[in-house]
Amino acid sequence: MIRTADGKDVAAILHIRKMLVQEDEFFLSEPDEFDRSLDNQRKSLEDVEERGGGVFLAEIKGQVVAYLIFRRANLNRMKHTGTLEMGVLKGYRNTKLGSRLLVHLMKWANQQNGLEKVCLGVLSTNERAMQLYLNHGFEEEGRERDQIRWNDGRYADNVLMARFV
């Protein structure tokens, strides 16, 4: 089930984000850099909603297993855009949850006053996510070459993608 998050979902979202930072190399933060308290997470999500964004969750058997956060730009010249962040717990990937969250987002986006463009950044090494976005009508708009560097010396591009509403 896909639904809009509310105040009691903050701990579940924080749990997923912490898990993904620990077990996935596709997030920008390393585990020791990600230290968001429950209160900070709550304030961050409240800010998303106050600025016209949205937080959506995928739930299976009452457990939140994926999220999508859409942050609306706050500068006047960019308010027609926003950026998405999505995370799916490892055990629930390849189950169409990412697709369902994106479909939900785009339906929601079509109802938002003045929203014209949904943007995102994805690591070039995350081929599965890139294909998901392409399948949902997102297009590559540019690349920040070797923008990400891991401790072992590997690099990845930050691929900028977008879809018009």
Instruction: Decide if 12 contacts 64 (C-beta within 8 A).
Output: yes
Residue 26 sits at the vertex; the CA angle it makes with 25 and 31, to the nearest 5 degrees, is 50
What residues make up the domain containing 76? Answer: 2-164
pLDDT averaged over every residue in the chain: 94
Residue type at 145? R
Tens digits of per-residue pLDDT, 77-87? 999 999 999 99
For CA atoms 66, 128, 49, 33, give the dihedral sign.
positive
Helix (H, G, I), strand (E, B) or coil at 144: strand
Using the structure block, give the residue that is written with the tokens 């961050």: 44
CATH number of 132's domain: 3.40.630.30
pLDDT at residue 31 above 80? no
pLDDT of residue 145: 98
Tens digits of per-residue pLDDT, 118-163? 999 999 999 999 999 999 999 999 999 999 999 999 999 999 999 9
- Domain count for the chain: 1
CA atoms within 13 A on the CB side of 29: 12
